[in-house]
């Protein structure tokens, strides 16, 4: 999603789940001119699709032979990756018990068969508007406006939740503190506008290098970045830190007063048991990584230490 705009309906992915081919075809014919549509013919296929593709909304038949719609919705709402996806049930029978069951499993709405095309389209639009606005507000709240990376608010509000999950799984967490070398000299030489462009380029390189879905890249402040890596050991964290240093150097962003006349970074890393991070606070892990960053800078910059 663009940092400044809510995406249009035509780019919203609606997953239609129904075991009857004619029903799928009918629903798709109603919706395909307004939304991007995908289909699944079973509950199992629907869950797999949602985990892999994260649709914007699911239109779900309640009665299916393998996994019924209520169980599919329950599974989607139980997963942190898919629980934000609105689910609208499509059903031919709706008594009070079934209606209550829809709400209890976390459905956003339901429509009756045979569907009214206009009503269905407008209900989907309403739920998509709510979802997209929520995502947009979260993006504005949790993202740095210059670089698009996560910000300090995300670090204080969301990262502790992630670390608690890793602690429950008895895993470890890595942190990498990054500092752009001689950035003040860069600003003094090229001006603050070019400095902002440099920050954006480095942020993009770091983001492209850190690839796992649960990894978080945060603009910590000024020219400093923080990478949080759940479920990783010391060797893995060291490898990522070295890859980051090499990726920025290989980008060859000109810096007349930098190392080898190009922009470089220094990185310090630390790896803790997640239970220790929960006990001592994430700030202690960051401080440990920061000490290693200081060592990297003292030893000549353009390197990773930890």
Burial profile 159-193: b = 16 or more Cβ within 10 angstroms, e = fewer: beebbeebbeeebbbbbbbbbbbbbeebbeebeee
- Same-domain pairing of 123 and 222: no
pLDDT, tens digit, 9 for 90 and up, residues 249-283: 999 999 999 999 999 999 999 999 999 999 998 99
Structural domain including 43 reads 9-138
pLDDT on residue 249: 97
Residue 119 forms part of a structural domain? yes
Write the pLDDT tens digit of every residue in 81-98. 899 999 999 988 778 888
The three-state secondary structure class of 167 is helix
161 and 299 in a common domain: yes
Are 262 and 182 within 8 A, CB to CB? Answer: no
pLDDT digit string, tens, across residues 160-177: 999 999 999 999 999 999
**Is pLDDT at 1 greater than 50 in this prediction?**
no
Q: In which residue are the tokens 């380029």 written? A: 201
Indicate which residues carry an active-site annotation. Answer: 223
Q: The domain spanning residue 68 has which CATH number?
A: 3.40.50.2300
Residue where one domain finishes, among candidates 112, 138, 164: 138
User: Which pLDDT band, with edges at 50, 70 and 90, does 61 fall under?
Assistant: very high
Q: What is the DSSP string of 121-147?
A: HHHHHHHHHHHHHHHHHHHHHHB-TTT
Statement: the pTM of the whole predicted model exceeds 0.85: no
* pLDDT tens digits for range 116-153: 999 999 999 999 999 999 888 887 889 998 999 999 99
Same domain, 183 and 100: no
Q: Cα separations (Å) of 281 from 167, 176, 216, 277, 291?
A: 12, 16, 17, 5, 16
For CA atoms 271, 272, 277, 280, give the dihedral sign: negative
Would 144 be classed as within a structural domain? no
Residues 133 and 218 in one domain: no
Where does 80-182 have alpha helices with state H?
96-104, 117-142, 152-157, 159-168
- 65 pLDDT tier (thresholds 50, 70, 90): confident
Residue 4 pLDDT > 80 = no
- Position 241 pLDDT exceeds 70: yes
> How do strand 304-305 and strand 224-230 relate by DSSP bridges?
unpaired
Please tell me which residue, 204 or 134, carries the higher pLDDT value.
204
How is residue 7 written in tokens?
Answer: 């995406």
The reported pLDDT for the residue numbered 5 is 58
* Average predicted confidence (pLDDT) for the chain: 93
How confident is the model at residue 247, as a pLDDT? 97
Q: Are residues 263 and 166 in the same domain?
A: yes
Last residue of a domain, one of 90, 109, 138: 138
C-alpha 51: how far from chain center: 13
Say yes or no: 112 and 164 in one domain: no
Contact between residue 159 and residue 216 where contact means Cβ atoms under 8 Å apart: yes
């Amino acid at each position: 999603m663009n940092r400044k705009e809510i995406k249009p309906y035509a780019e919203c992915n609606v997953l239609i789940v129904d075991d009857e081919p004619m029903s799928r075809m009918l629903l798709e014919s109603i919706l395909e001119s307004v939304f991007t549509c995908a289909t699944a013919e079973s509950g199992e296929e629907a869950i797999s699709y949602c985990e892999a593709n994260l649709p914007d909304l699911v239109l779900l038949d309640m009665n299916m032979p393998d996994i019924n719609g209520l169980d599919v919705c329950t599974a989607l709402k139980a997963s942190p990756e898919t629980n934000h996806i609105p689910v609208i049930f499509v059903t031919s029978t709706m008594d009070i018990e079934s209606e209550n069951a829809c709400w209890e499993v976390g459905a956003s709405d339901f429509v009756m068969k045979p569907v009214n095309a206009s009503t269905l389209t407008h209900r989907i639009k309403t739920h998509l508007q709510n979802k997209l606005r929520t995502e947009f507000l979260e993006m504005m709240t949790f993202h740095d406006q210059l670089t698009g990376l996560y910000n300090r608010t995300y670090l204080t509000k969301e990262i502790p939740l992630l670390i608690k999950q890793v602690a429950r799984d008895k895993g470890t967490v890595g942190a990498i503190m990054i500092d752009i070398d001689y950035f003040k000299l860069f600003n003094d030489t090229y001006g603050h506008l070019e400095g902002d462009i440099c920050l954006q380029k480095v942020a993009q390189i770091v983001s492209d290098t850190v690839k796992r879905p649960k990894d978080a890249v945060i603009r910590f402040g000024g020219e400093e970045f923080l990478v949080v890596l759940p479920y990783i050991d010391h060797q893995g964290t060291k490898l990522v830190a070295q890859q980051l240093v090499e990726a920025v150097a290989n980008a060859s962003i000109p810096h007349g007063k930098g190392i080898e006349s190009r922009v470089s970074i220094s990185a310090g890393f630390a790896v803790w048991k997640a239970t220790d991070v929960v006990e001592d606070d994430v700030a202690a892990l960051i401080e440990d990584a920061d000490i290693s960053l200081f060592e990297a800078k003292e030893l000549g910059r353009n390197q990773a230490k930890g």
